[in-house]
Structure 1
Amino acid sequence: MRFVVLGDSFSEGVGDRVAGAWRGWAGLLAEGLAAEGRGAAFLNLAASGALSADVADTQAPRALAFRPHLASVVVGVNDTLRRGFDIVRLARRLDRVCADLDALGAVLLTACLPDPGRMLGLPPPLARPLARRQRSVNAVVHALSARYGAVHLHLADPAWTEDRALWSADRLHPGERGHRAVAAGFHGLLAARGIVHGAPPSTEPAQPQPTRTEALLWLATAGTGWVLRRSRDLLPQLLLLAGAELRHWADGTGTAPLDARAEDALAAALAATMGR
């Protein structure tokens, strides 16, 4: 059983550090793929900050050379945080990656994710544009998952997003408990298809939960660095998006024009992939 992982920090394992390195849901799932006495080859190509372009252009060629039986493709949140977000380009990239892996006979793993504005508790003018973008990404992922018969995990559901015990201090990445929940969710879906034969990963953390002091320390060090690295691109874009939201509210049109524009872009993205 060869298992390859493509994506960003969510699949890299950020939030679940073991022995000084990120483990995450993919590493936990890999341990339960094969029956006792049989091995599984595991290659995690996911990298923090990766965009759909990085997955399509850099990670996918290495994944294809690995000739996997199982391939996880979860990406898109970082795209929504960038100035050049384009749902049509994202859909085409993901379609190409999924098509190439499917052509090798790999079983695909996909997931829809919560929008970062909601997770961070941003005020509505900032949160709404991000939610709109993430809904479009999730719609594309749902469509591609159906097209390629992917094993799909719904991680944008309230049961997932409202349980803060699943999330790390940054509110954007799962903690150990969250990564274990993701691994167990995928394992259950794969077992139902008869694809995995190992024991499911435990959902109970093996390490103690970070204390409030430890969480605050993380936010003051690594968390601050994360914000600073993205502020040059994300913050100006967020302010522009928020300004558009406020202008529409001020002239009495509300968000209807912005919602309609996003729906048109999503329709074009789905047509660009589903229509070929």
Structure 2
Amino acid sequence: MAPGPGEPLRFAVLGDSLSEGVGDRVGGAWRGWAALLADGLTAGGRETEFLNLAVSGALSSDVEGAQAPRALAFRPHLASVVVGVNDTLRHTFDIALLARRLDRVCADLDACGAVLLTACLPDPGRMLGLPPPLARPLARRQRSVNAVVHALSDRYGAVHLHLAGPAWTEDRALWSADRLHPGERGHRAVAAGFHRLLADRGLAHGAPPARDPVEPPPTRADVLFRLATAGTGWVLRRSRDLLPQLLLLAGAELRHWADGTGTGPLDARADAALTAALAATMGR
């Protein structure tokens, strides 16, 4: 849905810390890729109204239950839905439930005329450099989430950005010290990627975001403080929730390697759950 004559373009942002802007601090607050993108969506005096509903730690249930109703009331022309990493870090992870939630959110936004923005994401185990028995279960989960996002992006004609490939995950300059969130350069790269895709569709008319950082880089003291405060809090919260189950999953990995079956049975189980989730969601 394009804005009417003289009407501002409305851009709503749903998701977690990536879309909140964590890793790109300006003036004591998070800015992030979505705000950078918003600055380049319009030209010729047309305004952009920007509503960022993303919250650090948000799950797909938070996006559906709390963020989507506010986004729908905003009547956006563009709406980004980027979520799922936090779901993979919960012992309650259920790919079928996540697929249903995201489908409902995307369906409702599509029905109100919004063009959707989506992205697939790298798995957190790889980004954190966890040992293979711990990293592989998270990688399976994130691959499943990305497969669901790809399917829903195709269904709703979303503007989709691939952020899980080596060009993103192996370029250390794009990431902040915590290895889970982009730094300013990374947020600018995400914004520029979305701007390019939107411009190709005739949906972005302003100047693309600059690629090079403008803010001074965080000092070593800033980095250490963030890792010691926000980073420690993140580890403690996830340890209470995910760590016991992750250790069980790692034990299953090691048992399969010990008995010579490797990861085949675990991969097959995850693939079967994903196939069932896609069949149930896409077949409705």
TM-score, structure 1 as length reference: 0.98
Amino acid at match of 1:248: H
Alignment deviations for residues 112-149 of structure 1 (CA, whole Å, 9 cap, x no partner): 00000000000000000000000000000000001100
Alignment deviations for residues 139-177 of structure 1 (CA, whole Å, 9 cap, x no partner): 000000011000000000100000010001100000000
Alignment deviations for residues 212-260 of structure 1 (CA, whole Å, 9 cap, x no partner): 4432332122211211122100211211110111111111111111000
Structure 2 residue aligned with 1:257: 265
Structure 2 residue aligned with 1:247: 255
TM alignment of 1:31-180, pairs within 5 A: 31-180=39-188
Structure 2 residue aligned with 1:270: 278
Partner Cα distance (2:250, 2:44) in 1: 53
TM alignment of 1:217-232, pairs within 5 A: 217-232=225-240
Cα displacement (A) at 1:90: 0.2
Out of 25, 30, 45, the position equivalent to 2:33 is 25
Identity %: 85
Q: How big is the alpha-carbon RMSD for the aligned residues of Structure 1 and Structure 2? A: 0.9
Partner Cα distance (1:254, 1:10) in 2: 34
Partner Cα distance (1:64, 1:38) in 2: 22
Amino acid at match of 1:175: G
Cα displacement (A) at 1:208: 2.1
TM alignment of 1:5-20, pairs within 5 A: 5-20=13-28
Partner Cα distance (2:124, 2:101) in 1: 22
Amino acid at match of 2:130: L
Out of 207, 214, 222, the position equivalent to 2:215 is 207
Partner Cα distance (1:33, 1:181) in 2: 15
Partner Cα distance (1:14, 1:144) in 2: 26
Amino acid at match of 2:248: L
| Runs of 5+ unmatched residues, structure 1 | none
* Secondary structure of residue in 2 paired with 1:198: coil
